[in-house]
Structures are given as structure tokens and as C-alpha cells.
Amino acid sequence: MKQLLRWTAIVLLLLVSCSQRESTSPAHHLTRKRTAVLQIENDTIVVLAPEQARQFATTTVRTDSIGLMLRVAGRVVAKAVLSADSSIPPLIVFESNDAAQRYTEYLKARANFEHSTTQLARIRDMAAHQAASGKDVLEAVTEHRIQQAVLLDAESELRQSGLRPELLERMSQGSILIACDVPEAFLPYVQLGEQAYMSFAATPTAELVGRVIELADAVDPTTRTVRVFMILPQAPAVIRPGMFATVRLLKRRVNAAIVPREAVVVAEGQPYVFVQRDSSTFVRRPVTLAGDTGKEFQITEGLRAGERVVISRTMLLKGLSFGY
């Protein structure tokens, strides 16, 4: 009986100790005390008790005039080199055999289509002078339509590689074509014809200048990026298809809000900050990032000078606001 009482006392002491540790846990306090998440129009508002709200450090938003710069990774997808027969256009060398084969099939299909177009015109002319029959004209028309369908199919296959025939036709001897995947949020800052500054591991001391020539029509549904093509005329001979490049696009000067990196959280690709409205209320605010200095984010939309944003324990507010 005494042994039973002793074990009962030990169990009770352990339960009381666990209860005290749980009640003194900061996270436990935050969830047990008054916490409310409200949705008012487009704003998600987190309301805490004043003593809880004081646990979150904030800083005042400042604005500054900045020169926007977009830095993205690129890859050389094609290079135009001198062919063995100098009387024909430059030979296009690709980063993959698959792209090379698709381009070859496209060139064959285009040649056959152009030949069928010439043949159709000749047969029609002969028929107009009674030198060909209606059957000959019908056969020429049929062949022309077949070659047209083959050409369209070959062009479609080439486009699936991310390459348009018009892009490749614009390449002169010694030029290279670079593809970059630009996040959709930065697409408004990319303009056709603008200069692009490129550096390669193979040429570490040189910064080469190309230009933007093409933007893809669709956004990649998985990466949420848009493919941007840039051409570099007269590239150094050491540059080869498949090499990686760092590409910089220098942009205009704009006014932007400057906040520490700790102030920004990301959910499903959308960056947010938490703006302090009063001593116990925080508003989750979507923002548009324009740049990253390594220590601070430059924000062009979503914040105003003088507002206060949370810079500590932001992941906790993220969880509360999204209901994690």
C-alpha cells in the first residue's frame, strides 16, 4: 500500500511539472491568450493581446530612389558557326541532339514545302496554256497541302524545344542565343531590344553585351517563369552551347520602399509583409519585390514610407494568418 501511494505521488508530481512547463511555453502563451484572425475586404488582420504584440520587433519603412537591376541565370542554347560550304547560311550548333534533329527536320520540311509551292505554280501556268490537265493541277494542290501540313508539324516540334525558326534565322556567324527563365513578377521590367550584360565562367574577366530579342508567349505553370531569349553577336570562340551565363538587365530609376530581408515571407510564390496598424493589430500585406541587395529587399508596390513592418518572428505571424 505504501509503495502504491509513493508511485501515485510521483505521477502527480510529474503531471504538475509538465503542466507548469507547458503553461510557461512562449508558443503556448501565444495560442492560449487572445488571438483572432479577421478577413476585412482584401486584408488579413491578426489581432493579439498587447503583451503578445510587444514580442514582435518592428521597423519604419523608408523609401529611396534606386536603379533597378534584374539578375538571372542564362544558358547558351545555340551558336552560329561557319559551315563547310561558305555559299550557304551559317550552321547552327545546338546544346542538345534533340533540338538539332528538330531543326533539321524543320529545314527539310520547309525546303519540300517551297518546292511544292514552285511546282504548283508551274503546273497551274501550264494548265492555263493547255499544257497540263486538271488532274495534274489537283495532284499538285494535294501535294502542296501535304507538304504544308508536314512543315507546320515540324515547326510545332521545334517550338516545343523553346525555339522559334525566326529566332534562329536572325543569327549571324559567330553569334550565340541565350535563354533565361525570368520570374513572372519581374516580366514588366524586361523590354525587347534592351541591352543585357553577360558574364561566363569561361571568360571571367570580360562582361559581354547582348540584347533581348524575344519573350515567350506563355508562363511555365510549374516554375512560374517566362523564357526570355537574348542574342550576343560575335561571341568569343571559347563560348559553347550548353554553357551557363549570369545575365544582368539594368533598369530605370524608381522610388522603392526599403525593408530588411527578415520582414518578407513568401507563400505560394507571393511575397508578404506584416504591417503594424496599432499596438495589437498586424495586417498581412502582399508586396511586389523589385530588387535584393542581400540584406534588404526593394519593394515597388504594397508599402508606404513611414509604415512599420514586423522584422522578428514573422514566420509565426505567417502561420497564424494562413491558419497553419
* CATH number of the domain enclosing 262: 2.40.420.20
**How many separate domains does the chain show?**
3
Q: How far apart are CA 140 and CA 64, in angstroms?
A: 68
pLDDT attached to residue 19: 43
Do 180 and 235 lie in one domain? The reply is yes
Among 193, 225, 251, identify where a domain stops.
251
Asked whether 284 and 314 are in contact (CB, 8 A), the reply is no
Do 265 and 309 lie in one domain? The reply is yes
Q: How far apart are CA 309 and CA 60, in angstroms?
A: 7
Q: Which cell is 239 given?
A: 563560348
pLDDT attached to residue 24: 44
Give the range of the structural domain holding residue 109, as residue numbers without chain letter: 97-160
* CATH number of the domain enclosing 214: 2.40.30.170
Q: How far apart are CA 274 and CA 43, in angstroms?
A: 11
Residue 121 lies inside a defined structural domain of this protein? yes
Do 262 and 235 lie in one domain? The reply is no
Do 259 and 246 lie in one domain? The reply is no
Asked whether 58 and 310 are in contact (CB, 8 A), the reply is yes
Q: What is the pTM of this model?
A: 0.57
Do 184 and 242 lie in one domain? The reply is yes
Q: What is the pLDDT along the chain (324 residues), one digit of tens a residue?
A: 444 334 334 333 433 344 444 444 444 444 445 678 777 777 788 888 888 889 999 999 999 887 767 788 899 999 998 877 666 778 889 988 888 899 999 999 999 999 999 999 999 999 999 888 999 999 999 999 999 999 999 998 888 777 888 888 888 888 999 999 988 877 877 888 888 999 998 888 888 999 999 888 788 888 888 889 999 988 888 999 999 999 988 766 778 899 999 999 999 889 999 999 998 999 999 999 877 777 889 898 999 999 999 999 999 999 999 887
